[in-house]
Amino acid sequence: MSDQAQRRVADLTRREFLGRGTALAGWSALGLGTAMGPEALARAAGAVSLPAAGAVLASYVADVGGNGGPGNSDKTLIRKAMGARRGLDVLAKGGYDYRGDVFGRGRVSRDDLKAVKQAIKHFKADPDAIRPRPVTVCWHYAWYNHANRKPNKQHVWFKSGGYSSRDPETEATFNDLKNEFGITVDAVSWADPTADKNLNANFELGYMRAANGRTRHAALLYESLISLRARPGDRIDFSRRRTRNRLVDHFRSMARTFVQFRDDSRVRPFLVEGRPVVFIYASHTWATNVDGTGAQYDHIDAAMENAISAFAKVYGKAPFVIGEEMTFAEPDRFGPGRRRRSANFDGVFIYHHAATPDFIIRGGQNVRGTYVDQVREVLTHSYEAMTHKSRFTDKPMLIVPSFAAGFSKIEIPTLHSNRTDYADFLKGMIHFHEQEYLLPAYGEQALAERPSVFSIGGWNEEWEGHTVMPSQFNRSLSPRTQQGFDYVMAIKQACGWNHYAERQLNLGV
């Protein structure tokens, strides 16, 4: 790829694809991967899902009851669920207890019981090895206005077809699926209404009114590029007073949204230290220079002080702010610009580990082997942020990495993944994150008390292939062996179902 082409690709943001897509070559409703009948599906899923001999389930996967650790009640639950099959419809058949499906195969069998028995024995002998269930975050979007939409240039399409984000029944279906497959937090996309008139109104009509909203925890994903009026490829100029004023107004408005979550809807805010969580998309573009010096960084500091104060006056507490400041590629470091901006935040994250075209190509365009080694190397650079502290709280950064699946969007090399590779990636990266971040940052006791927090990509971003919702097609998924449930089944195998659907989630750091 030429330097000019790379710059053009880098200038594209995911928000442009609504208007700049290209038709999918050879598209068909099931044309991206091989569809399989129920018997073939069961054989294929069984072949890829059972662990190697001697391998033990993660404690939170064996904890099928979700009460904090594996025990005899989990065996009882599986025995009652034995023999049931999920079915291939979007929602499971009546009478199927998804909690017993520890391998993500869409059925409960003696294999599940045997594995849970083995785990109970293992963790009884070594209780210090029990880990809290991870907190999995997905990016959730509400910009789909019409239920009669047809697939055109999308990279992912929901298994049930078109839907409207204004429909609370659709959002209730999404909630059921996320709880079944182990997704804990919805980071709901939020933008200035004058920049996107439908986004916030849609999720107020749909997501907030879902009948089962009480099972969900919600954060906000602040779309700073859209909301602060950045042009494609531009950095955000904080020397402009209008930009700074907008930021403060947006934090005030986001506080009102959290008040709605808390007081006027069934949805529970996702809290860290009792404070609602705001992820800032593309904070790394703040300031037209990247060296962390000059008047613009002083303006960022002052604007964030005012923004946090404005939020607190509305909600009653300051937000827990997580900026997109993690490193992007092997040569990248947690340098002066990131360090200066991040002092205004409580944590750092990255939207997706496939951050540049070169990174995808060098890794072989598959989520395995060389690519995974690259992700670990880059993540290690971001762990340098462990020693950096928020200037407001004097506490270290909470690091929220991306353990998303594949990646696919216009003019970007496709990062492929599949059911087996993604489950292996998740399990390996969870262990890596515990040992390389949680343990050195917080000590041995943290492994037993502090859940890992990481994102698993988008839930319903139709223009990018890291989306994990059950799908008719997903351009990053190859081969397709579980009727479009491949990515969510991998999450369930690695993390278990969403225990926090029935428990309050308020993390300390």
185 and 329 both lie in a single domain: yes
What is residue 130's three-state secondary structure?
Answer: coil
19-60 residue pLDDT tens: 222 222 222 222 223 334 444 444 344 344 466 656 899 999
175 and 323 both lie in a single domain: yes
498: domain CATH number?
A: 3.20.20.80
d(CA 244, CA 228): 9
Identity of the residue numbered 81 = A
Among 103, 129, 155, residue at a domain's last position: 129
- What pLDDT score was predicted for residue 48? 47
| Preceding peptide of 451 cis, ω within 30° | no
414 and 489 both lie in a single domain: yes
Mean pLDDT of the chain: 89
d(CA 207, CA 199): 11
388-428 residue pLDDT tens: 899 999 998 999 999 999 999 988 999 999 999 999 999 99
- What pLDDT score was predicted for residue 331? 81
363 and 491 both lie in a single domain: yes
Q: What is the CB neighbour count within 10 angstroms for residue 363?
A: 21
Q: Retrieve residue 352's tokens.
A: 């997706």
Q: pLDDT tens per residue, the chain (509 residues)?
A: 333 333 333 333 333 322 222 222 222 222 223 334 444 444 344 344 466 656 899 999 999 999 999 999 999 999 999 999 999 999 999 999 999 999 999 999 999 999 999 999 999 999 999 999 999 999 999 999 999 999 988 999 999 999 999 999 999 999 999 999 999 999 999 999 998 889 999 999 999 999 999 999 999 999 999 999 887 778 999 999 999 999 999 999 999 999 999 999 999 999 999 999 999 999 999 999 999 999 999 999 999 999 999 999 999 999 999 999 998 887 878 889 999 999 999 999 999 999 899 999 999 999 999 999 999 999 998 888 778 899 999 998 999 999 999 999 988 999 999 999 999 999 999 999 999 999 998 899 889 999 999 999 999 999 998 999 999 999 999 999 999 999 999 999 999 999 999 888 888 86
Among 96, 129, 162, residue at a domain's last position: 129
Q: How many helices (H) and strands (E) does the chain have?
A: 18, 13
165 and 261 both lie in a single domain: yes
70 and 177 both lie in a single domain: no
Measure the CA dihedral 196/198/199/200, to 10°. 110
Contact call for residues 422 and 372 (beta carbons, < 8 A): no
d(CA 19, CA 60): 42
Identity of the residue numbered 310 = A
- From the list 400, 407, 401, the residue with the least C-alpha distance to 354 is 407
87 and 50 both lie in a single domain: yes
49 and 192 both lie in a single domain: no
Sign of CA dihedral 12, 15, 17, 18: negative
123 and 256 both lie in a single domain: no
What is residue 182's three-state secondary structure?
Answer: coil
277 and 354 both lie in a single domain: yes
> E strands within 95-173?
135-140, 156-158
- What pLDDT score was predicted for residue 230? 80
Identify the bridge partners of residue 324 per DSSP, sorted by sequence position.
349
Structural domains in the chain (count): 2
Identity of the residue numbered 401 = P
95 and 139 both lie in a single domain: no
340 and 444 both lie in a single domain: yes
d(CA 405, CA 476): 8
- What pLDDT score was predicted for residue 29? 25
* Domain encompassing residue 385: 3-30+133-507
Among 105, 129, 153, residue at a domain's last position: 129
